[in-house]
A and B are shown apart, each in its own frame.
Chain A
Amino acid sequence: MAGAQPPGLGTRGSGVHELTLAQSLVEAVLRETEVRPPAPTPLPVGEGQGEGPVRRVTAVRVAVGGLTHVEPENLKFWYEELTRGTRLAGTSLLVEKRPTRVRCQRCGREFAVLANSFVCPDCGVADVRLASGDEVILESIEVEE
């Protein structure tokens, strides 16, 4: 691979899908609820946990796109497992499943995919680009004042 820089290597991306996702989620929630002065570079994942002041979390909201194959109950199961014994123990995870949305390449109409049909209601042809649905988003975290 002469002269080419290899893309960054992650250690994740294997194992049970919702477990992997729940690990990312827990790390993100812990990171987002640390109270610290704005730092020039973020701390490595996991660092700072249990040290310094943190916000008390009550609930976590996640939106799951329709294309992702993520099963909300399974995600909640792993979230509960991974947060046991941590400061996130007992917090509620609220998962909202969102329909896949696509945009017709012919007429530009954006519509939600129902029953796996990508056919445009106006054109009658499945010639679409994905607008949203391939994401799992940590939307917000409810914390005590």
Chain B
Amino acid sequence: MKLKVALDLDRAGKDVAAAIRALLARERVLALNLIGSPGCGKTALLEATLPELAKTHAVAVIEGDIATSRDADRIRALGVPCHLINTGGTCHLPPNLIARALQDVDLASTDILFIENVGNLVCPSTQDVGEDAKVAVLSLPEGDDKVLKYPRLFREAGCLVLNKVDLAGVLRFRREQLASDLAQVKHGLPVFELSALTGVGCPSFLEWVRGLYQKKCGRPTVPGRRRKA
């Protein structure tokens, strides 16, 4: 005899993600989930852009790392509030850990929250943590073949940051390969070619972030003011 069940075994995780999304909407916070390989420059991208973004928006960061506070220390050195999650080995940030971290984030004083995921092109892409968009970060030294090798991230992403373009002269990175792979996975994905080291290209990425914020939340909190209106 067959018992019909039809139960989604990840219902609990999806429910937590939905609760986070509702909370962030109520608190008028834009959340961006940065995903990329170890060493692709996720923290460097934040270092290169947060000081500029902080002039117009109140920013905060949740850092996910298996071990150490190295990335969190770099963010705090910018004067940006940063909550560190050491996963102890888990390869991604699941929604329940984000929900717990959000209890320590002053959302009332935050416009834009960056979640820097654990360095990994695979598992973080499968996790909805209630973010508004995933930001895929790929760097030139990783190679031009990654989009079709790790399609889920690039399909889920709201934009692609192509970092370390300052190394283009010493690498053989075929942009046409990247473009044709992206066309198979996600038409029209915004691509920001930049160098977090030199700063070239960063303003376009910031313009995209500010545009998303405006679309979701309208006018930002005046920096320095403690609470939103």
* Chain A residues at the B interface, C-beta cutoff of 8 Å: 1-15, 17, 21, 24-25, 28, 32-33, 55, 62, 67-69, 116-119, 125-127, 134-145
Distance, CA A55 to CA B96, complexed state (A)? 33
Most chain B beta-carbon contacts within 10 A, residue among A1, A15, A142, A145: A1
Contact residues in A for B1 (Cβ distance below 8 Å):
142-145
Contact between B187 and A125, CB atoms less than 8 A apart: yes
Contact residues in B for A25 (Cβ distance below 8 Å):
9
Contact between B10 and A127, CB atoms less than 8 A apart: no
Known contacts being A9-B99, A69-B152, A127-B187, is A32 close to B5, with CB within 8 Å? yes
Distance, CA A144 to CA B5, complexed state (A)? 16
Distance, CA A123 to CA B185, complexed state (A)? 14
Contact between A139 and B6, CB atoms less than 8 A apart: yes
Minimum CB–CB distance for A111 against chain B, Å: 14
Interface size on B, residues (CB 8 A): 49
CB of B191 within 8 A of chain A? no
CB nearest neighbor in A for B99 = A7
Distance, CA A11 to CA B12, complexed state (A)? 10
Minimum CB–CB distance for A85 against chain B, Å: 22
Q: Is the interface of A mostly helix, strand, loop or mixed?
A: loop
Minimum CB–CB distance for A105 against chain B, Å: 9
Contact between A14 and B94, CB atoms less than 8 A apart: yes
Contact between B12 and A12, CB atoms less than 8 A apart: yes
Partner of A140, one of B4, B8, B87: B4
Contact residues in B for A32 (Cβ distance below 8 Å):
3, 5, 7
Contact between B102 and A1, CB atoms less than 8 A apart: yes
Contact between A1 and B185, CB atoms less than 8 A apart: no
CB nearest neighbor in B for A11 = B96
Contact between A126 and B186, CB atoms less than 8 A apart: yes
Minimum CB–CB distance for A2 against chain B, Å: 5
Known contacts being A68-B126, A119-B184, is A6 close to B99, with CB within 8 Å? yes
Distance, CA A7 to CA B22, complexed state (A)? 9
Most chain B beta-carbon contacts within 10 A, residue among A2, A55, A143: A2
A-contacting residues, B1-54, CB 8 Å: 1-10, 12-13, 15-16, 19-20, 22-23, 26-27
Not counting A14-B90, A55-B3, A116-B148, a sample of 5 additional A-B residue pairs whose C-beta atoms are within 8 angstroms of each other reads A4-B23, A69-B152, A125-B187, A140-B5, A143-B3
Contact between B13 and A126, CB atoms less than 8 A apart: no
